[in-house]
């Protein structure tokens, strides 16, 4: 489970952005991101699993989730005209938590 934990974080973040695009009816973006993740899995899993067995399968899954997440984030930033720093700023979130 320890080796899958980065992938779990990536897929959790991607799920939030996926719900955003699904709510807007932009399934094409989801198809592109998830297809790239699938292609990543297909292309690297054979090599990684043969090399490192279970550990290779974990790396393959994490890499697939990472690729899909990066593509979703890129589409999200482009569509909303945000910078990457805008996604990483938590100051307002903490202020809102303090007020409630």
Domain residue extents for the chain? 5-99
Residue 17, helix vs strand vs coil: helix
What is the C-alpha to C-alpha distance for residues 57 and 50, in angstroms, rounded to an integer? 9
Token reading at 65: 């989730």
Q: How many CA atoms lie within 13 A of 29 on its CB side?
A: 23
Instruction: Give yes or no for a contact between 71 and 10, defined as CB atoms under 8 angstroms apart.
Output: no
* Model confidence pLDDT, tens digit, residues 18-75: 999 999 999 999 999 999 999 999 999 999 999 999 999 999 999 999 999 999 999 9
Q: Quote the pLDDT of residue 61.
A: 95
* Model confidence pLDDT, tens digit, residues 86-97: 777 777 778 888
Q: Quote the pLDDT of residue 21.
A: 96
Q: Quote the pLDDT of residue 97.
A: 83
Residue 2, helix vs strand vs coil: coil
Q: Quote the pLDDT of residue 85.
A: 81
81 or 66, which is more confident? Answer: 66
Q: Quote the pLDDT of residue 88.
A: 76
Q: Quote the pLDDT of residue 83.
A: 85
Token reading at 50: 């043969």
């Amino acid at each position: 489970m320890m080796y899958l934990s980065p992938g779990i974080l990536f897929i959790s973040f991607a799920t939030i952005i996926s719900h955003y695009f699904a709510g807007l009816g932009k399934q094409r973006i989801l198809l592109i991101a998830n297809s790239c993740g699938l292609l990543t899995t297909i292309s690297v899993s054979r090599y990684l699993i043969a090399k490192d067995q279970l550990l290779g399968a974990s790396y393959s899954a994490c890499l697939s989730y990472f690729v899909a997440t990066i593509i979703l984030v890129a589409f999200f930033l482009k569509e909303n005209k945000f910078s990457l720093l805008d996604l990483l700023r938590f100051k307002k979130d903490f202020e809102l938590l303090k007020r409630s």
